[in-house]
Chain A
Amino acid sequence: QKEVEQNSGPLSVPEGAIASLNCTYSDRGSQSFFWYRQYSGKSPELIMFIYSNGDKEDGRFTAQLNKASQYVSLLIRDSQPSDSATYLCAVNIGGATNKLIFGTGTLLAVQP
């Protein structure tokens, strides 16, 4: 089992719709969770982080965390064509290294 799993997609949504991106993780000791957006040929850009169960909202983005189910999601409201990118879920299991473990990413395509 992979440590962080994401559906590779592509996830196709029409402009203005809600895009829902999902991620599961295997280590119950995971402490913090991150969503990065990566445009083709560019480096990952941090868009959200969450470490407590529940929802965290920032503009059009909402991150949701359920530690009991080992599940984290990202909702993008009013999706725009400029949101088309690969979304990477990353998990920090804590400890001295603070390394991030990434999923393989979900490709989102927002259709005009």
Chain B
Amino acid sequence: ETGVTQSPTHLIKTRGQQVTLRCSSQSGHNTVSWYQQALGQGPQFIFQYYREEENGRGNFPPRFSGLQFPNYSSELNVNALELDDSALYLCASRVGLNNEQFFGPGTRLTVL
């Protein structure tokens, strides 16, 4: 067990809709990163939050946004869903000085 939980497990949306994915980390994991993993690909970095502030972003458009809360939970919001947003969305929390990142079970998003 990594101590990272995500909800929901699966989600089906239609193009143009909005979605919110949730992640909960262990106490003390003050950094959380979100990744998108398309089928057959490695995870792609979306953004990272540290102490409730975004402090790094990958090549994703502004319709991908996030929040981190004082209780170590986090949200990923995606507006105006596109078919290509269909993927496994992973959150990871950072532990220690070696930047080990442990992933939650992921949310499988399907956009129709």
A interface residues with partner B (beta carbon < 8 Å): 4, 32, 34, 36, 42-46, 49, 51, 88, 90, 92, 95-105
Contact = CB atoms under 8 A, between A and B. Distances in A.
A51 B100 CA distance: 11
* A-B interface, 7 closest residue pairs, ranked by CB to CB distance from nearest: A97-B56, A102-B42, A99-B45, A43-B106, A43-B103, A104-B42, A102-B43
B44 A102 contact: yes
Interface of B: 31, 33, 35, 40-45, 48, 55-58, 88, 90, 92, 94, 98-106
Contacts, number: 64
Contacts of A42: 105-106
A49 B48 CA distance: 20
A96 B45 contact: no
Contacts of B43: 44, 88, 100, 102
